[in-house]
Amino acid sequence: MNKEKKDQITRNVMELLVEEEIERQISRLPVPISQYINRVEVATYALNRLPPLYASSHEGFNKQKLKGKAEFSADVTKAVRQGFAAVQKDLLRNSTPLIAEEYRELEEAKKALQELIDFLPHREFSWSNLVKVIKPVLIKLNQQQKLKQELVKSKSTSSPLWDDSVYRK
């Protein structure tokens, strides 16, 4: 697969329309109630009742967004309202959220970077300058390791008589 095809994505515009509607409806709720609304579950409920509107370009995205607002605005509002009702009915239901593998890997990478920041003396680095900061440290460690190996090698080849010699300093 070539790089262009690998980097290009598709996006369901209906997801954006549903997210906007969820935020609009949540803004009308009292704050204590809105804290307990699981937006992802409401969105999932609503999206399963609405047609997808996929786009793969900015132009297509804008066209689908206009179409979605014109043709499905009332359906989106209704589906989101039903989603709120369905999620509120099952407040005690146990739910283990799905997490995208990319986000999991990103979180692991963030933790690893933070560990490096905490461990190394040079604390002002990020992903953009990581190699520039770490490379000299690794080169220095590699040189020290080579020196140790050479030292061990030179000691092992020296005469045992020298080690016991009175000339040794």
Instruction: State how far the Cα of 148 lies from the Cα of 152, in Å rounded to an integer.
Output: 6
> In DSSP terms, which residues pair with 104 in a beta bridge?
none
Instruction: State how far the Cα of 59 lies from the Cα of 122, in Å rounded to an integer.
Output: 45
Instruction: State how far the Cα of 84 lies from the Cα of 36, in Å rounded to an integer.
Output: 11
Tokens of 160: 């045992």
pLDDT digits (tens, 9 = 90+) for 27-36: 998 888 888 8
Is the pLDDT assigned to residue 3 strictly greater than 70? no
> In DSSP terms, which residues pair with 89 in a beta bridge?
none
Q: Which residues contact 38 (CB under 8 A, 6 or more apart)?
A: 87, 95
pLDDT digits (tens, 9 = 90+) for 68-83: 999 999 999 999 999 9
pLDDT digits (tens, 9 = 90+) for 115-153: 877 777 666 777 788 788 778 878 988 898 888 888 877
114 or 11, higher pLDDT: 11
Residue 93 identity:
R
Residue 110 identity:
K
Percent of the chain with pLDDT over 70: 79
Q: Which residues contact 122 (CB under 8 A, 6 or more apart)?
A: 133
Q: Tell if the pTM clears 0.75, that is, is over it.
A: no
> Span 81-103, mean pLDDT?
74
Structural domain spans, the chain: 7-89, 101-158
pLDDT for 116: 77
pLDDT for 168: 52
> Can you spell out the DSSP letters for the chain?
--HHHHH---EEHHHHHHHHHHHHHHTTS-HHHHTT--HHHHHHHHHTTS---EESSHHHHHHHHHHHHHHHHHHHHHHHHHHHHHHHHTTT--------HHHHHHHHHHHHHHHHHHHSS-----TTTHHHHHHHHHHHHHHHHHHHHHHHHHHHHS-HHHHT-TT--
